[in-house]
A and B are shown apart, each in its own frame.
Chain A
Amino acid sequence: MLSQPTAADPVAFRAAQPGAEAWVSALCSHPTWSPVQNALKGIAEKMIHSLFLINCSGDIFLEKHWKSVVSQSVCDYFFEAQEKAIDVENVPPVISTPHHYLISIYRDKIFFVSVIQTEVPPLFVIEFLHRVADTFQDYFGECSETAIKDNVVIVYELLEEMLDNGFPLATESNILKELIKPPTILRSVVNSITGSSNVGDTLPTGQLSNIPWRRAGVKYTNNEAYFDVIEEIDAIIDKSGSTVFAEIQGVIDSCIKLSGMPDLSLSFMNPRLLDDVSFHPCIRFKRWESERVLSFIPPDGNFRLISYRVSSQNLVAIPVYVKHLISFKENSSSGRFDVTIGPKQNMGKTVEGVVMTVHMPKAVLNMNLTATQGSYTFDPVTKVLAWDVGKITPQKLPNLKGIVNLQSGAPKPEENPSLNIQFKIQQLAISGLKVNRLDMYGEKYKPFKGVKYITKAGKFQVRT
């Protein structure tokens, strides 16, 4: 076979005259026949090649290249797509350009645009980019242009640590924090006095164990474990008030501050509710399959233990109802608006934090409304009506009513605005999920345990 020449061959090959075509010279410069792909080195790059961070006004404020430097001009294709999309949210996440693919996410008013040169799983890239944004959030308290610029060196170190040659290296916040210390005011003061650095100089302990998410030697004086069961209701309610679609997106976010290597078991009163669950890698899948118990050695600090989805219609209770009357008169420059929100199926708990936002039709000039409760604003530029209702008391239902002023002469608006509702219910998981007990093995101390429930509106919309 050619690709494995005999020992005598290389000399003969090296002697080949230079020149000819480009690939040929490359082939010659190699001591062997090794396939021609080396001639095309430029093409043969993989995974995430470069990353650009772009703010909403279109400035590239950070670039990082894991391979060779790619010119900023590649972002022009992105800007083009951005212009076409009008709305920032509508920029397509995968854009192809003549020589690259741009895969981007939009988070916290920043576009994370990655440059890809070969076939690569886009979800891999998108997940990774979100992980980068999460890490910034985690390190700097916010993922904003200012925060990133203020910590540019740490950002660079983080990016380098997270990705090597396109392979994600360390993305667990626990490990990263051991490698690169997050900035604190105290530390930067101390560092500037003592001349020490914010780079960890020992190998993170968790990195290579079979539980890479936890570091060794964790110590707390107060041992605590908190679980927040948070459920969001996504729903579409039609004009007549019946539910077109509803599901619950639930998560259990945990804050675990336990010393040593605790081994936890969390069980539920009604685990059968959970038939579509995504787990944190720490959870032992087999135990769940056989016993419906969440058994795990937790990471240290805050993390998402599971996320789940409950979709079967009869389990998804809709805690509020909306009575609405929005009408525009033919050939007149006004319309009526009358909306009442009331509680329904809320298991005796109070519905609070209620906010309604409505994107009114373009023809709407202004709105003259009276709210029996809370306050409303209408932005005549974006046409967004926002009504901050607050708490719903069943005795006196909140109502917002009045006149809509339309542009004179404009035709009656075709589209009916959808009402987006936000709300919160404390101490309730609307699916009925309930934690039964938490047991700890492997450590002697007695931890403090707490579970909190909360239900919120997710994408909750009422069509009118």
Chain B
Amino acid sequence: MTDSKYFTTTKKGEIFELKAELNSDKKEKKKEAVKKVIASMTVGKDVSALFPDVVNCMQTDNLELKKLVYLYLMNYAKSQPDMAIMAVNTFVKDCEDPNPLIRALAVRTMGCIRVDKITEYLCEPLRKCLKDEDPYVRKTAAVCVAKLHDINAQLVEDQGFLDTLKDLISDSNPMVVANAVAALSEIAESHPSSNLLDLNPQSINKLLTALNECTEWGQIFILDCLANYMPKDDREAQSICERVTPRLSHANSAVVLSAVKVLMKFMEMLSKDLDYYGTLLKKLAPPLVTLLSAEPELQYVALRNINLIVQKRPEILKHEMKVFFVKYNDPIYVKLEKLDIMIRLASQANIAQVLAELKEYATEVDVDFVRKAVRAIGRCAIKVEQSAERCVSTLLDLIQTKVNYVVQEAIVVIKDIFRKYPNKYESVIATLCENLDSLDEPEARAAMIWIVGEYAERIDNADELLESFLEGFHDESTQVQLQLLTAIVKLFLKKPTETQELVQQVLSLATQDSDNPDLRDRGYIYWRLLSTDPVAAKEVVLAEKPLISEETDLIEPTLLDELICYIGTLASVYHKPPSAFVEGSRGVVHKSLPPRTGSSESAESPDAAPSAGQAAEQPAVIPAQGDLLGDLLNLDLGPPVSGPPLAASSVQMGAVDLLGGGLDSLMGGSGFTAPGPAAPAAMGAPLGSGLGDLFDLTGGVGTLSGSYVAPKTVWLPAMKAKGLEISGTFSRQVGSICMDLVLTNKALQVMSDFAIQFNRNSFGLAPAAPLQVHAPLAPNQSVEISLPLNTVGSVMKMDPLNNLQVAVKNNIDVFYFSTLYPLHILFVEDGKMERQMFLATWKDIPNENEAQFQIKDCSLNADAVSSKLQGSNIFTIAKRNVEGQDMLYQSLKLTNGIWVLAELRIQPSNPSFTLSLKCRAPEVSQYVYQAYDAILKN
């Protein structure tokens, strides 16, 4: 008598038969029929046609039958909204049932039916259930509020359910508290700016108390909620940590990891000198290790998180290397993660053990794993200098095995070792050369060719070796071709007499017979270089290379800090901030680690340092302004040629003000405008106070502002908006974004009650304050408004990416328009990357993420370009002059933490610049280019 019997009827009239059975008078038959319907549902069969018949069975006192009908309803109610209404009466009745189980079941099911019409009927029963005497009903009702909010948020607010939910946080029953927290955090997620979970020391205390008592799942919700709290000082942080630590011993790994997140975050606030800090560090290791004895899927997620934790705080697990040793029967995804962590933990103290292990892995069966193990040996050599020699000899041993893919991987990593330790291990080149013929992968071939070229003077038959590659030049991949070209040029510069013919050959192959622009360009550059100035060629081609370092595979610190806040989430598995997978993540708020308090070593927090520095600089700038005044009058409005652009921008403003000129012309024309918030103030102020304004402005100048502002354009023509015309532009000043609007009333009646709202957009732009129009707008009057924006709104990827949909309302109607904002308003002030970091990141971003653009008709020189761009928070990190062209290396950071790296090539005689952009989110490149173009041309 098993349920499989319900699957058996597959003949023609199945639905018909079921219909008859559902309408049978016999209770037992009815129940059997509903079971058959459910069975069909479980295998994905569409039985929605039976909706009315199943709903008819709902009026019953048999709990099992009721449950089954409810199960069915949840699945199909959405596709049959009109029919679902039929069920409402029963729901309402069941919410009054004396049995709490039935009350809870009804309120729960009702919330699952995502039909707008039902929600209206839901409110009253829900309100009762939220105050039900039985905690089981209350906790179910708490979840129902979240469900309802998802269907109709406003209704939930209007009905005051949010307040009731907040009250439930203080419920006497911990399960109710846990569900209330879960529901509130879910609602808060879609309302990032709302202060729903008003976390203060009192409510935190309540949560901590509930934490000890509620179920494991509730604990996860509470811990995740705690992680969003910002303790006011290190003492509060410590006391929360103390109360969270016991969760580390929980059997549920998700509880453990959520607790780890809270601790990792709050630890940031504790001074390292504190005894407690050391205790906490010690307590973190065992639970992390324990996660590795769980099921492989759990291990995988744990390992991805441990990977972040060891980068942030390597001291936690430094003695636990052995638990990451790979077991023969671990699934491959676990093996690869363990390997990665082993390398991160490798140090002089344990390198011998690690190497022995890696060598063992290199003889395993799984090819991917073996390759990664061989690569790991190379990474160890680069990371732990003392071990380099041992690593090289291990690699040589592996090459001796002659296993093809092992040899190839070994050669690739040996190339990196050469770059890290030049002139140290070249004795192995002979062995490498023996294996030349077996290399069939582009990366290995390219590596080998690089080695031959780089050490051509020590390899007697270097020319023969390279010549042998040249035969199949056109069949090679680009990587190999480029490398071969460079290697032969190197060889020629080292041994010019014997290799003239060879170099001719490769240059003509590269320049004449190839369709690949990269290859051709490189070929021509070498060719001209060699023919005009061989000495310079030598300097360029044989220049000393920067040493590579191990940091290339580390996650950059700001991203790492953000990811630490996301421990345990999908973001931590993908090692990307949630904003990087925009779709599906709603209302992403950027999280950052709390700054350290109560200790002097605040320099550890990268975010805090620069702003403090800027603040300190400020006063120094203002007195200097007096000197500038003298020069003001002589300045023309053209783009500044030298000097910091910010000074220039302020100067213009000042000049205009002093001269009594109207600002309107400047705003509409080209050039820099005043810092946003100051502009309207200046307009309204009497001209005599120009000097005062100037001082206001310099405040902005001191903090690096003055980004380019496009002229205002008409966004909403009066025709489309019953007489309201809106024009505007965007600006970024002193780290804040503004939407500068002009509202003009072209209608015959007075307009008032203005309000504005944005749709979700790619970067979460949202008004930071309400739209303030102080007086009603009379006909033919216009008003200028600067609306401050922030980027903590809801996020949704738009197409185009910088599209912003805006709704404006007044007393007449609501109007909608959409506009494109220039991306540079999102370039943040701390977008200057460390040089080392830049190199590493540039290398690390795959080539397919690189995008190239031409900026035409721009006559600025490199310095002017760089200062102009800096005004808009595009920072030049390095400038090089290569073969007469200026290369600018620049970085910028978007408000959501996305870094964009740029290489700008400027040829003195050519008004077209080449811009190469690299970014982990390549879709922004196009818009960054547009921003460059706009800034440089204005």
- The answer to whether residues A165 and B147 also contact, given A201-B63, A276-B286 and a CB cut-off of 8 A, is yes
Residues of B within 8 A of A3 (CB): 194
Partner of B573, one of A61, A66, A122, A359: A122
Q: Considering only CB atoms, which chain B residue lies closest to A71 in the complex?
A: B44
Question: How far is it, in angstroms, between the C-alpha of A374 and the C-alpha of B231 when the chains are bound?
Answer: 65
The answer to whether B289 touches A309 (Cβ under 8 A) is: yes
Q: Which B residues between 565 and 594 are near A, CB-CB below 8 angstroms?
A: 568-571, 573-574, 578, 581, 583-587
Which A residues have a C-beta under 8 Å from some C-beta of B?
A: 1-5, 12-13, 15-17, 20-21, 23-24, 27-28, 30-41, 43-46, 60-69, 72, 85, 87, 89-90, 92-94, 96, 99-101, 104-106, 116-124, 126-127, 130, 149-157, 160, 164-165, 167-169, 171-172, 188-189, 192, 195, 197-199, 201-203, 207-208, 210, 212, 234, 236, 238, 244-245, 247, 249, 275-281, 285, 289, 304, 307, 309, 311, 359, 361-362, 414-416, 418, 420, 459, 461, 463
Report the minimum CB–CB distance from B794 to chain A (whole Å): 6
- The answer to whether residues A99 and B250 also contact, given A121-B257, A123-B257, A153-B39 and a CB cut-off of 8 A, is no
Question: How far is it, in angstroms, between the C-alpha of A7 and the C-alpha of B242 when the chains are bound?
Answer: 47
Which B residues have a C-beta under 8 Å from some C-beta of A?
A: 1-4, 6-7, 27-28, 31, 35, 38-39, 41-44, 62-65, 67-68, 71, 74-75, 78, 99-101, 108, 111-112, 114, 134-136, 139-140, 143-144, 146-147, 150-154, 157, 173-175, 179, 182-183, 186, 189-191, 194, 213, 215-217, 220-221, 224, 246, 249-254, 256-258, 286-287, 289-290, 293, 295-298, 300-302, 322-323, 325, 327-329, 331-333, 353, 356-357, 360, 363-365, 401, 403, 568-571, 573-574, 578, 581, 583-587, 755-757, 759-760, 767, 770, 794, 796, 805, 807, 809, 811, 813-814, 816, 818
The answer to whether B182 touches A167 (Cβ under 8 A) is: yes
Partner of A121, one of B114, B254, B333, B584: B254
Residues of A within 8 A of B813 (CB): 12, 15-17
Residues of B within 8 A of A153 (CB): 3, 6, 35, 38-39, 68
- The answer to whether residues A36 and B760 also contact, given A20-B816, A61-B43, A153-B3 and a CB cut-off of 8 A, is yes
Question: How far is it, in angstroms, between the C-alpha of A64 and the C-alpha of B44 when the chains are bound?
Answer: 9
The answer to whether B573 touches A309 (Cβ under 8 A) is: no
- The answer to whether residues A245 and B249 also contact, given A36-B760, A151-B2, A278-B290 and a CB cut-off of 8 A, is no
Q: Considering only CB atoms, which chain B residue lies closest to A168 in the complex?
A: B217
The answer to whether B756 touches A236 (Cβ under 8 A) is: no
The answer to whether B333 touches A27 (Cβ under 8 A) is: no
Report the minimum CB–CB distance from B790 to chain A (whole Å): 14
The answer to whether A208 touches B135 (Cβ under 8 A) is: yes
Partner of B108, one of A20, A164, A245, A280: A164
Q: Considering only CB atoms, which chain B residue lies closest to A280 in the complex?
A: B251
Partner of B150, one of A44, A120, A171: A44
Tell me which of A36, A72, A153, A279 has the highest count of chain B C-beta atoms within 10 A of its own C-beta: A153
Residues of A within 8 A of B221 (CB): 167
The answer to whether B3 touches A21 (Cβ under 8 A) is: no
Q: Considering only CB atoms, which chain B residue lies closest to A232 in the complex?
A: B293
The answer to whether B220 touches A124 (Cβ under 8 A) is: yes
Q: Considering only CB atoms, which chain A residue lies closest to B755 in the complex?
A: A2
Report the minimum CB–CB distance from A188 to chain B (whole Å): 5
Residues of A within 8 A of B295 (CB): 105, 126, 130
Partner of A90, one of B332, B353, B757, B770: B332
Partner of A64, one of B42, B253, B755: B42
Report the minimum CB–CB distance from A8 to chain B (whole Å): 9
Q: Considering only CB atoms, which chain A residue lies closest to B285 in the complex?
A: A276
Partner of A278, one of B249, B329, B767, B794: B249
Question: How far is it, in angstroms, between the C-alpha of A127 and the C-alpha of B298 when the chains are bound?
Answer: 8
Report the minimum CB–CB distance from B131 to chain A (whole Å): 16
Residues of B within 8 A of A35 (CB): 153, 190-191, 757, 794
A36-B759, A41-B114, A122-B301 known; 12 other A-B pairs, CB under 8 Å? Answer: A1-B770, A23-B759, A35-B794, A46-B189, A66-B112, A85-B332, A105-B295, A117-B584, A212-B175, A244-B356, A307-B290, A459-B329
Q: Considering only CB atoms, which chain B residue lies closest to A239 in the complex?
A: B360
Tell me which of A28, A69, A189 has the highest count of chain B C-beta atoms within 10 A of its own C-beta: A69
The answer to whether A149 touches B4 (Cβ under 8 A) is: yes
Partner of B28, one of A45, A169, A195, A234: A195
The answer to whether B150 touches A2 (Cβ under 8 A) is: no
Report the minimum CB–CB distance from A443 to chain B (whole Å): 23
Residues of A within 8 A of B28 (CB): 195
Residues of A within 8 A of B584 (CB): 43, 99-100, 117-119
* Subset of 18 A-B contacts with CB under 8 Å: A2-B756, A5-B755, A27-B759, A31-B154, A41-B150, A93-B333, A119-B571, A119-B585, A121-B220, A123-B257, A156-B42, A165-B147, A168-B217, A188-B1, A203-B134, A208-B139, A236-B327, A276-B290
The answer to whether B586 touches A245 (Cβ under 8 A) is: no
Q: Considering only CB atoms, which chain B residue lies closest to A100 in the complex?
A: B584
Partner of B249, one of A100, A199, A210, A285: A285
Residues of A within 8 A of B570 (CB): 94, 101, 116, 119-122
The answer to whether B213 touches A210 (Cβ under 8 A) is: yes
The answer to whether A63 touches B44 (Cβ under 8 A) is: yes
Tell me which of A234, A238, A247, A414 has the highest count of chain B C-beta atoms within 10 A of its own C-beta: A414
Report the minimum CB–CB distance from A48 to chain B (whole Å): 12
Residues of B within 8 A of A249 (CB): 293
Residues of A within 8 A of B301 (CB): 93-94, 122-123, 126
Q: Considering only CB atoms, which chain A residue lies closest to B568 in the complex?
A: A121
The answer to whether A167 touches B298 (Cβ under 8 A) is: no
Residues of A within 8 A of B256 (CB): 278
- The answer to whether residues A165 and B322 also contact, given A24-B816, A68-B78, A212-B215 and a CB cut-off of 8 A, is no
Report the minimum CB–CB distance from A199 to chain B (whole Å): 4
Residues of B within 8 A of A244 (CB): 322, 325, 353, 356-357
- The answer to whether residues A420 and B755 also contact, given A2-B770, A127-B252 and a CB cut-off of 8 A, is no
The answer to whether A309 touches B251 (Cβ under 8 A) is: no
Q: Considering only CB atoms, which chain A residue lies closest to B108 in the complex?
A: A164
The answer to whether B297 touches A126 (Cβ under 8 A) is: yes
The answer to whether A37 touches B587 (Cβ under 8 A) is: yes
Tell me which of A96, A156, A167, A244 has the highest count of chain B C-beta atoms within 10 A of its own C-beta: A167
Q: Which 5 A-B pairs have the closest CB atoms?
A: A150-B2, A197-B64, A276-B286, A34-B154, A93-B297
The answer to whether A207 touches B297 (Cβ under 8 A) is: no
Partner of A461, one of B2, B38, B289, B328: B328
The answer to whether A309 touches B290 (Cβ under 8 A) is: yes
Question: How far is it, in angstroms, between the C-alpha of A66 and the C-alpha of B150 when the chains are bound?
Answer: 14
Residues of B within 8 A of A359 (CB): 365
Report the minimum CB–CB distance from A132 to chain B (whole Å): 13
Residues of A within 8 A of B809 (CB): 12-13, 33
The answer to whether A92 touches B157 (Cβ under 8 A) is: no
The answer to whether B327 touches A150 (Cβ under 8 A) is: no
- The answer to whether residues A157 and B71 also contact, given A236-B327, A244-B325, A309-B290 and a CB cut-off of 8 A, is yes
Residues of B within 8 A of A100 (CB): 584
The answer to whether A149 touches B99 (Cβ under 8 A) is: no
Q: Considering only CB atoms, which chain A residue lies closest to B299 in the complex?
A: A93
The answer to whether B220 touches A43 (Cβ under 8 A) is: no
The answer to whether A201 touches B75 (Cβ under 8 A) is: no
- The answer to whether residues A156 and B220 also contact, given A34-B153, A150-B3 and a CB cut-off of 8 A, is no
The answer to whether A279 touches B249 (Cβ under 8 A) is: yes
Tell me which of B108, B258, B755, B807 has the highest count of chain A C-beta atoms within 10 A of its own C-beta: B807
Report the minimum CB–CB distance from A403 to chain B (whole Å): 22
Residues of B within 8 A of A420 (CB): 328-329
Question: How far is it, in angstroms, between the C-alpha of A164 and the C-alpha of B108 when the chains are bound?
Answer: 8
The answer to whether A90 touches B333 (Cβ under 8 A) is: yes
The answer to whether B3 touches A151 (Cβ under 8 A) is: yes
The answer to whether B816 touches A62 (Cβ under 8 A) is: no
Report the minimum CB–CB distance from B98 to chain A (whole Å): 11
Report the minimum CB–CB distance from B409 to chain A (whole Å): 14
- The answer to whether residues A311 and B153 also contact, given A149-B3, A281-B216 and a CB cut-off of 8 A, is no
The answer to whether A63 touches B323 (Cβ under 8 A) is: no
Tell me which of B253, B301, B353, B581 has the highest count of chain A C-beta atoms within 10 A of its own C-beta: B301
